[in-house]
Amino acid sequence: MEKSVKFPKDFLWGVATSAYQVEGGIENADWSKFYPAGKACDHYHLYEKDFDLLEKLNLNVYRFSVEWSRIEPKEGEFDGKEVKHYRKMLLSLQRRGIKAMVTLHHFTNPLWMIEKGGWENKKSIFYFSRFSKKVIQELGDLVDFWITINEPLIYAKASYAKGRWPPQKKNLLLFLKVVKNQIRAHKKVYYDFHRIRKKVRVGLAKNNSFFEPFNSKSLLDRLSSRFAAYFWNNFFLNRIRNQIDFIGLNYYFHNKIKFPFHIENENKVISDLGWEIFPEGIYYVLKDLEKYKKPIFVTENGIADAKDVFRKDFIKEHLCQIHRAIKKGVDVKGYLHWSLMDNLEWDSGFAPRFGLVKINYETLEREIRKSAFYYAEICKNNSLICG
């Protein structure tokens, strides 16, 4: 049966992006050489236009990242011009009554930092916290929510275990070292930020997936699935649970685990990237996060769907599952769709299209997709029809 469901009064509705994926013109990051983004969406120059879109879509929170390699292009040297650029962006959001959620680390690093050993080096904790301190000192009065690190395990896995992303290493020990340094860096930034500003809210964006045994009658499948869920969803959060004001959840995946660690999904419905669409999973992932007793924001959730055929139902079904979790007592404070616009999907390039807004990469024209108008109605009404 269809029924209208209402979200809590102060629920926040938004979208997320990250600097390297949308800004264009980033020359001093590790990704600049590995996978040049060129102009990307030229969000760096066109952000006012993009913020008009936020208003048009009735959104009241915008998540974006500040690019470390712009702000600190050389070790210990900060570029005032770039800091000012982000201040201007934040002031524009403030004028429009849109809250700002700022990510400090979204996969990219300055080249100099990588030359010094990157996240394998224990000094990364110092480098990252020095940069973060500069950012909060310069921008802190305009930021509502901080995300220290986006998807630490995805970064560590892709860059240090699978060898796919820069610095393209394949070494389990390095992977663990990187994770350890990320945990410490997060904690340090958490304490620094609370010392520097009173009412600061510091979180982290965690990519959590819904794990199930491939065969629920198999003890080995059940054990593998349990372990995978613990390691992927809980291990990192357990270590920072006392140094986090809210949890950011990025939800994309459902994994059926066959012993020992094979992912065997049914893939009944998949996105352009071949990722299975499984809205129910977000309900279980949110229920699992309840144990941390922290407010939760869905900081990313979205689909590569160039033809915009699945996105509307994707949004609807995920939001209905989120509402179900809220009704069961999970403290979800907001939903930020990935992404405002099409952008560089890392090593998959520009082909996957995650945007509510379509980008013409030749002309840089923006065109609002149909599904975005559907999302905009939900944001305006703070409610939708489920069932």
Segment interacting with ligand FCB (CB under 6 A) among 75-83, 179-187, 314-322, 338-346: 338-346
String of contacts with ligand FCB for each residue 291-330, x by CB under 6 A:
---------x------------------------------
String of contacts with ligand FCB for each residue 352-381, x by CB under 6 A:
--x---------------------------
Number of residues located near ligand FCB, criterion CB under 6 A: 12
The answer to whether 332 touches 297, Cβ cutoff 8 Å, is yes
For the bound state, the minimum distance from the C-beta of residue 65 to ligand FCB, rounded and expressed in Å, comes to 9
Phi, psi of 31, rounded to the nearest 5 degrees = -70, -25
Residue closer to ligand FCB (CB basis): 120 or 272: 272
Which one-letter amino acid corresponds to residue 3? K
The catalytically annotated residue of 72, 120, 151, 276 is 151
d(Cα 299, Cα 335) in Å, to the nearest integer? 6
Identify residues 43-82 at the interface with ligand FCB (CB under 6 A). none
DSSP calls for 38-70? TTTT-HHHHHHHHHHHHHHTT--EEEEE--HHH
| 3-6 vs 383-386, strand pairing mode | antiparallel
Residue closer to ligand FCB (CB basis): 132 or 271: 271
**Is 345 near ligand FCB (CB under 6 A)?**
yes
Look up residue 33 and give its two tokens: 């050489």
Residues 6+ apart with CB under 8 A from 219: none
**Is 37 near ligand FCB (CB under 6 A)?**
no
**Is 284 near ligand FCB (CB under 6 A)?**
no
Please indicate whether residue 290 is annotated as part of the active site. no
**Closest residue by Cα to residue 34 from 148, 103, 114, 106:** 114
Residue closer to ligand FCB (CB basis): 208 or 225: 208
The answer to whether 83 touches 39, Cβ cutoff 8 Å, is no
d(Cα 245, Cα 132) in Å, to the nearest integer? 17
Q: How many CA atoms lie within 13 A of 373 on its CB side?
A: 5
**Is 209 near ligand FCB (CB under 6 A)?**
no
**Is 20 near ligand FCB (CB under 6 A)?**
no
The answer to whether 359 touches 345, Cβ cutoff 8 Å, is no
Q: Which of 7, 13, 15, 18 binds ligand FCB (CB under 6 A)?
A: 18
**Is 275 near ligand FCB (CB under 6 A)?**
no
Identify residues 131-190 at the interface with ligand FCB (CB under 6 A). 150-151, 154
For the bound state, the minimum distance from the C-beta of residue 18 to ligand FCB, rounded and expressed in Å, comes to 5
The answer to whether 5 touches 51, Cβ cutoff 8 Å, is no
The catalytically annotated residue of 300, 317, 345, 377 is 300
How many other C-beta atoms can be found within 10 angstroms of the C-beta atom of residue 291?
Answer: 11
Please indicate whether residue 115 is annotated as part of the active site. no
For the bound state, the minimum distance from the C-beta of residue 117 to ligand FCB, rounded and expressed in Å, comes to 24
Q: Which of 193, 253, 278, 338 binds ligand FCB (CB under 6 A)?
A: 338
**Is 276 near ligand FCB (CB under 6 A)?**
no
**Closest residue by Cα to residue 298 from 334, 327, 325, 331:** 334
Which residues are near ligand FCB by CB under 6 A? 18, 21, 150-151, 154, 207, 250, 300, 338, 345-346, 354
Catalytic annotation, residues: 151, 300
